Structure 1
Amino acid sequence: MRSLDRMTLRERALVALREAILTGRYGPGDHLGEVEIASQLSISRGTVREALRHLQQEGLVTPGVRGMLRVRSLSPDEIDELFRVRCALEGQAVSEIVESDGLPQIIDELNASLDKLEAATGDLTEQLEADLAFHAQLCALSGNSILLDTWRHLEGPIRVVVMSASTENRRFPMWAGHHRPIVEALERGDADTAVRVLREHMQAAVRLLNSKD
């Protein structure tokens, strides 16, 4: 029973800390003090430490001065590198999808994801979740499990970068209209166009996310 309670507390701490980072209560570079967090959440420092360790694995936090963890902060060059790697992975997913025997069903699933993204026009967090769900599904539908696992390791840093950008700059890349040409090209079996549109989409996102406006 004690281990169950401990697990429940860790999960609660994990959810609370992740939400605080993704909503901007803790911004990039902010230190995450175990004592302060433990006091705020009324839990032990050990439980906080476990939750922070998990968030480090997700790529949301990173070691700072004297080993104290802080919210991950990416430089403009690192943001560019992050999205270039992401584009390479999703481009490979596109190439493998086009060669799939189940392409019609895949297109139906991707269009359903785009419909959800189009409907998520209010809350920014909901919109981000719908956007990332589409891109994760693109990787999953390639049938390449290693590709999907690798993409998942980028998800935490992507979330931090998007949520720390200005409101309009983070909204624009997530519009469904920017994603539909990718699916339309896939439906035609045109991998080259799908990859080109995907690359242009990622490049535009980097420019906006690195903008100070």
Structure 2
Amino acid sequence: MAQTAALSGLRKTNLREQALLALRRAISTGELAPGTHLVETDLSERLGISRGTLREAMRQLQQEGIVSAGPRGRLSVRTLDAQEVIDLFAVRAALEALAAQTLSTADDNDAALDRLRESVQTMADLTGVDLEQRIEADLAFHLELVRVTGNASLLHSWQSLEGAIRMSFMWAGHDKAAGNMRVDRHRAIVDAIADGDPEAARACVVEHMREAVANLVQ
């Protein structure tokens, strides 16, 4: 079955959110490759929306780190280099290690562990399907890891990296990205948290990120 292009006409409801989803999908699937200049007239016509609505969506993508501004403010799909990916995953490791440590010492973390196990099961259920869905499930797990700590500053910090994380998968290519979606690697983090040893939980996350970045930049 032929894949439907992400950049096609939208329904006339909640257009900004639909435009955001369509643009994110076009970028994550490579329909809009890293470095592609984003021309308002072209994109607004393809999506069937006004240029004003498109600009709102593009501003959001800039905030997410998916789109960047070049000379004279010209927007393009963000590109990364190897050092940026390494730096990104170092920051991820620090944030998510803190989340794992926090959860491992929480007085009542049963509900948080249940939610993380549900996220891991979703990843398992998607094994073998298209990579886009698996990437979304992977991101959902890591987002849940920081969300269930209840630390709003930690959550905000992680969310500010989400666009760059998406772009790191595009930069590396689908084959390398797929190597980071293994269910056992994520289940190990949950098990480490459940054991109640904060240092072991921290170390598990740090090793997870070390393996992930090594796979992406190899």
TM-score, normalised via structure 1 length: 0.90
Q: Who is 2:169 aligned against? A: 162
Equivalent residue in structure 1 for 2:107, among 83, 101, 105: 101
RMSD over aligned Cα, in angstroms? 1.7
1:54 aligns with 2:66: no
174, 181, 199: which one pairs with 2:188? 181
When residues 111 and 13 of structure 1 are mapped into structure 2, their CA distance, relative to the original with a 3 A threshold, is closer
Output the CA distance in 2 between the equivalents of 1:6 and 1:50.
16
Partners of 2:190 and 2:15 in 1: how far apart? 42
Partner of 1:179: helix, strand, or coil? helix
The percent of aligned pairs where both chains have the same amino acid is 44
Query: d(CA) in 2 for partners of 1:6 and 1:127?
Result: 29
Deviation at 1:167, TM superposition (A): 2.4
> Which amino acid counterpart does residue 169 of structure 1 have in structure 2?
K
1:76-115 to 2 correspondence within 5 Å? 76-115=82-121
Partner of 2:167, secondary structure, is: helix
- Matched residues, number: 207
Counterpart for residue 194 of structure 1? 201
User: C-alpha displacement at 1:25, in angstroms?
Assistant: 0.7
Is 1:17 the counterpart of 2:30? The answer is no
Q: Do the aligned partners of 1:24 and 1:164 also contact (CA within 8 Å) in 2?
A: no
Higher helix share: 1
What CA distance in whole angstroms lies between the structure 1 residues aligned with 2:12 and 2:136? 28
Unaligned runs of 5+ in 1: none
Hey, what's the Cα distance between the residues in 1 that align with 2:125 and 2:49?
A: 38
Q: Write the distance in 2 (CA, Å) between the matches of 1:43 and 1:53.
A: 15
**Unmatched segments (≥5 aa) in structure 2:** 1-10
